Each structure stands twice: as C-alpha cells, then as structure tokens.
Amino acid sequence: MVKLEKTKVLICAGGTGGHIFPGLAIAEKLLDQKIKILWMGTKRGLEKQALHNKSINLFFSEFKGVRGMGLWRLINFPFRLLVEVLNAFLFLLKQRPSYVVCCGGYLTVPFGLAAKILSIPFCIIEQNAVMGTANRVLQPFAKTIFLNFDATTYSSYKAIPVGNPLRKEFEDLVTTPPAFSRNGEQLNILVLGGSLGALFLNTRLPACFSLLQNENKKFFSIVHQVGNDNQNEVCELYKRLNVRAVVKPFIESISDQYQWADLVISRSGAGIISELMAVGVASVLVPLPNAIDDHQKRNASILEKSSAAKIIEQNTLFQTKLISFLCSINREKLIDMAYKAKELARFNSAKIISDEVIKELHAKIGRAHV
C-alpha cells in the first residue's frame, strides 16, 4: 500500500458548526492516516475555536453568499464568483492538494469549480434534507456526492446516503442506550440555538420557564447555550425572572451535555438533528423560519414523523404551544421519544467518506506511477 504522509487534502467548510463539525470528523480520520489537512474557512465563523489544537493548516476565504442578500449582491455576484474562482485556482496551484472535500456552504463553490478545472477530484457532503444551493451548483462536477438523509430534495440519483459525519465523541456512543437523569420529578432541559446561538430562543425561553415554574409548579434544571455574544443579556434575563439556569456561550463537551438532558429545545440544523439521533434524546425543534428552502423544517420533520421530536414553529403561538407541551410530558414519554430518535441514527459516516477519499488518493498515486 502506498504511503500517504506527504499527501494533502483540502477541506472547505466554514461559518456554522453544521458545516464545520462534519468536516472536522472527516479530517480526524484522515489525520490518523498521516495525511496533511488544509482547511479553507471564514473569519466570521467558528473555525478558529473548533480547530484549535488540531494539526490543521487554516486558511480564510472572503467569498460571501448571495441568496436572500439583496439585489446589488445578486447583480455583482457573477463578477465576484469569477474573481473567487481565480483566487481558488491560484490557491490550489500553490498548495497542490490531491483531493478536495466540500462540506456545503457558499465558500465551497469557487474551490469546487477550480478543482474541476485543475482535474483535482472532489466530493460534496449534503447535511440537510434539502440540498443547498452551493451543492446543487457543484453536484454535476463532483467525483462523489454524500447525503445525510435518504430522500434529499434536489440530489442526484448518483448520490450516496451515508448519514452525517460525527465527531469521535458521538461515534463512541454507537452501542450506548439513551441516558436519562434520575432527579425524581425534575427534568433536565438543554437549550441549543445552533453553534452561533439563536436570538428567538434566547429571548423567549426564559419567560416560558418562568411561567411553568410559577403557575404550573414544573421543576426543571436548565442549561442554555446562547452563542458567544449573548451570555450577559440572557443571564440577566433569567435572573430578573427568578429562574435558575446555567448559561454558556459555547459547549465544548456537547455529547456529555446531551447525555445529561432529558429534553433538548433547539433549532433544527442538520448537525443538531444528527447529534440528537446519535445520543438518543427527546427534543422540541423550532425551525428557523427564514432558512433557505425551509430546510430546517424538513430536517425536523424527519424526527417528528418518527415520534422522536415535537415541532413548534416560531410564531405568536410559540409560548402557548411550548408550555402546553411541557405541561403534558412525563418521563415515560420522553424515554419513548429518545429511543425512537436513537433508532434513526447512522454511525461510521466519517469513516465511509474518509475511506472513499483514501481510495481515490491511492488510485491517483497509482496512475501517476504508470
């Protein structure tokens, strides 16, 4: 077998954890094979935080998306795309990766197109139930297309459903049954708004918990992840409402926090959906209403159809519906939801994708020696 120590793989993933963490899961598998990892991300996202202490060379792209961003950006987009494809072309010529992994999001487009021009094989990874615009653009040129969900809208017939690549901490839970607190009548609730926090959940949930605590005598232990810029405001809101909660900007050991929880209240990005299934935990899902192609609601529906989650939409009835649901649940119901979530989990996705990358690297090296 040809050694791959000097081989480079570029991973394009930036912005939110939904793109970054699947890329990181694949990177960890490739690093185990002594493959050198280059990473193209954004300065605005979680890349620095997620990749610290990793043997990964991090680079940044200034490219920005276009959908939902106004007429001028739309008019200017073809010129900007051409410039960014040229920049990506020059970057690939300089760094000379043997393979490119595109994890979705706008920054992958110029690098996928430049890779095609240079005959560098690349794959795309679609985490959501509706294929994103960037992946739709790159799909005809990709060597391989990997999907999280079987019935992904706009995906090619050549696409391979493998699940969402999960970090090692979640892969280790493959044989672990759902975990539950043993706090008597008190339930542990974990609130997640995605890796960057969610303003709606941050501002509405403290009041909901206050009403439950004061009027319905429901007792909860609450951990609330609020994003990097909102901790002080949310802490003050809980304090003013006399609700005890642990407020964190970002949760490092997220799998441990999931296992602590009896119920998760969250947005429904693909990363969180996959983690809920991997751990096996009941959830209330609040899809982002302005998500492109309404993909968060489509993601959430996969869990709700299996009775593993409850969807409560962000509208004027949100507080009433959430309080009604929280008043109606009991531990037996949550345990049933948790096991149904666990039944949907797919593991080994990162290994399947990294094995495909490694196979292509060996084939490319073999062709070079013919």
DSSP codes of every residue in 223-247: EEE--TT-HHHHHHHHHHTT---EE
Query: Average pLDDT for consecutive 10-residue bins of the chain (370 residues)?
Result: 82 90 95 95 84 90 66 73 94 97 94 97 97 95 96 92 91 75 77 76 93 78 87 92 91 87 94 93 94 92 97 95 92 92 92 96 77
Token pair of 7, please?
């081989």
User: Which pLDDT does position 307 carry in this prediction?
Assistant: 97
Token pair of 357, please?
């990358």
Task: State CA 174 to chain mean position distance.
Answer: 19
Q: Give the span between the Cα atoms of 23 and 150, in whole angstroms.
A: 20
Rounded to two decimals, the pTM is 0.88
CB atoms within 10 A of CB 170: 24
Beta strands in 152-256 (DSSP E): 160-161, 187-192, 220-225, 246-248
Write down the domain spans for the chain. 8-166+347-368, 187-343
User: Which pLDDT does position 2 carry in this prediction?
Assistant: 60
User: Which pLDDT does position 194 carry in this prediction?
Assistant: 60
Query: Which pairing describes strands 144-147 and 160-161: parallel, antiparallel, or unpaired?
Result: parallel
Q: Which CATH number does the domain 187-343 belong to among 3.40.50.2000, 1.10.1740.10, 3.40.190.10, 4.10.640.10?
A: 3.40.50.2000
Q: What contacts 45, CB < 8 A, 6 or more positions away?
A: 14, 15, 16, 20
Say yes or no: do domains 8-166+347-368 and 187-343 share a fold.
yes
Exposed, middle or buried, 140 (CB in 10 Å: 0-12/13-18/19+)?
exposed
Name the class of domain 8-166+347-368: alpha beta
Helix (H, G, I), strand (E, B) or coil at 55: coil
Q: Give the span between the Cα atoms of 311 and 94, in whole angstroms.
A: 48
Q: Give the span between the Cα atoms of 146 and 353, in whole angstroms.
A: 8
